[in-house]
Amino acid sequence: MGTENENNNWPFIVMLIGRFVFGLGGDILSVCQSTMVSRWFMGKELSLALGIVLSLSWFGNIVCNYTIPPIAEFSSLGIALGVGFCTCIFSLTMATILVIFDKYINKKDKLQGTQEEIAEKVN
């Protein structure tokens, strides 16, 4: 595999484990995004929203492929990985805010539904 010690398979094993974890995360993220979008949109709006979500995820992939190598060449691989790590932390923060916002809206919708049921019973 081009290493100095051909008996050392550790980098290859770490790469396979990382690839496996990355694959699990990507599928789970896709399912979660589709679930949240399908709760917020209906009909033709749903197909557009799902298309935008998928397009943005691929756009992020393309941006990463075109920005990380120049950063690594200009500075170092550690800096490039740090930029990727910071991007992931930003994404995690935004996802957390989205979940909090979604829970708040769900509580508000349930309360509004309860108030509408009471109004129907009164009428």
Provide the pLDDT for residue 66: 92
Query: How many Å apart are CA 95 and CA 93, to the nearest integer?
Result: 5
Tens-digit pLDDT profile for residues 46-100: 999 999 988 988 888 898 889 989 998 999 888 888 888 898 899 889 889 988 9
Provide the pLDDT for residue 48: 92
- Cα 63–Cα 65–Cα 66 angle in degrees, nearest 5: 65
Tokens 């910071």 sit on residue: 86
DSSP string, 29-77: HHHHHHHHHHHH--THHHHHHHHHHHHHHHHHHHHHHHHHHHHHHHS-H
| Choice between 59 and 2, residue whose per-residue pLDDT is larger | 59
- 79 φ/ψ sector (left φ>0, alpha ψ -120 to 50, else beta): alpha
Tens-digit pLDDT profile for residues 3-24: 555 667 787 888 788 778 877 7
Overall pTM surpassing 0.75 (yes/no)? no
